[in-house]
Amino acid sequence: MQNKLFEWNEENIGWFETSSKYSKFHENLASLISPILDNNSTVIDVGAGLGRLDQYIRDHCRQMILVEPNKYAFNYLVETKKENQILFNMTFEEYLELNREPCDYLLLSFFSRMEIEDNLERLSSLCKKKIIYVRNENHDSNDTLIKYLNDRGAEFKHFHREIDFSQPLKKDDVEKFIETYYGFKSKSTKQKMRECIIDRGDHCIYKNNKQISIFIIEKI
Ligand SMILES: C[S@@+](CC[C@H](N)C(=O)[O-])C[C@H]1O[C@@H](n2cnc3c(N)ncnc32)[C@H](O)[C@@H]1O
């Protein structure tokens, strides 16, 4: 079965928020990104999701623009909005049509659409300085992103880190969680995932040491 495009709904928003707060994943991720920024800069986060990363990034820049088309995620952004954030409930393609002034930095966190077609050039037009791109680490020696960036003559650096993104779950939600995120995977992968579930009596923890890569790409 094909890997489905990720879609927010009320249930996975709850899981994501719980995990982000419990593991401090976004707080820890932000601490790797904020040294790249300067306090007077502007940042645009495309595909902001719940803006959990932006909650911490916003203290290290002057203004943030958050672009998110999904209505459930956008409602969450509205509820948690801070004074130096501006929200747009649309796709980045629609945002480009607005012809707004580019920000200093473009933040793309787990926004894999950057790697397809000529999205890099279109997305790059949204910033003046650098693109900060966070994704899962690719253990394949033939890394298609590096080839994609090299083919477009992009200047970039990248580094890898492991950050805890463990997920507390109600016992009754464990199988639903596995099906939601791993339903399309093989039986053996799902079994490996089950082996990462720790029973804590009244609840479970899905232990997830997430391997990530951060790319810092000069504006092209
Ligand atoms: C995997 S999620 C990442 C969310 C968030 N950046 C994070 O790291 O938690 C990808 C996000 O991109 C949004 N998205 C999908 N297509 C988009 C598009 N064309 N333009 C902007 N955002 C899009 C989705 O709704 C989703 O919130």
188 within some domain: no
CA atoms within 13 A on the CB side of 154: 26
The number of residues in the chain equals: 220
41 within some domain: yes
- Single pTM value for the model: 0.95
Which residue has the least CA distance to atom 23 on ligand 1? 47
Q: Is the CB of 102 under 6 A from ligand 1?
A: no
Q: Is the CB of 57 under 6 A from ligand 1?
A: no
Whole-number Å distance between alpha carbons of 172 and 176:
8
48 within some domain: yes
Q: Is the CB of 70 under 6 A from ligand 1?
A: yes
In ligand 1, the atom with minimum distance to the C-alpha of 45 is: 6
Q: Is the CB of 42 under 6 A from ligand 1?
A: no
Give the model's pLDDT for residue 182.
87
CATH number for position 52: 3.40.50.150
For 202, residues 6+ apart whose C-beta sits below 8 A from its C-beta are 171
Give the model's pLDDT for residue 135.
96
Look at the chain and report how many structural domains it folds into.
Answer: 1
Q: Which two tokens stand for residue 190?
A: 């799902």
201 within some domain: no
112 within some domain: yes
- Which residue blocks in 81-139 are alpha helix, DSSP H? 92-97, 119-124
Whole-number Å distance between alpha carbons of 60 and 19:
23
Structural domain containing residue 94: 10-166+211-218
Would you put residue 49 in left (φ > 0), alpha (ψ -120 to 50) or beta? Answer: left
Give the model's pLDDT for residue 1.
36
195 within some domain: no
Counting ligand 1 atoms within 8 A of each CB, the residue from 5, 7, 29, 111 with the most, and so the one to mutate, is: 111
User: Digits of tens for pLDDT over the chain (220 positions)?
Assistant: 344 567 999 999 999 999 999 999 999 999 999 999 999 999 999 999 999 999 999 999 999 999 999 999 999 999 999 999 999 999 999 999 999 999 999 999 999 888 887 899 999 999 999 999 999 998 777 888 999 999 999 999 999 999 999 999 999 999 999 998 888 889 898 889 999 999 999 999 999 999 999 999 999 9
Q: Is the CB of 65 under 6 A from ligand 1?
A: no
Give the model's pLDDT for residue 5.
66
Strands 42-46 and 103-109: parallel
Q: Is the CB of 67 under 6 A from ligand 1?
A: yes
177 within some domain: no
For 38, residues 6+ apart whose C-beta sits below 8 A from its C-beta are 61, 104
Radius of gyration of the chain from its Cα atoms, rounded to whole angstroms: 18
Q: Is the CB of 165 under 6 A from ligand 1?
A: no
147 within some domain: yes
Q: Is the CB of 111 under 6 A from ligand 1?
A: yes
What is the per-residue pLDDT across 2-43, written as a single tens digit (0 to 9) for each?
445 679 999 999 999 999 999 999 999 999 999 999 999 999
Q: Which two tokens stand for residue 38?
A: 């300067």
Q: List the Cα angle 165/56/63 in 5-degree steps.
A: 140
Residue 70: Cβ-neighbour burial (10 angstroms; 0-12, 13-18, 19+): buried
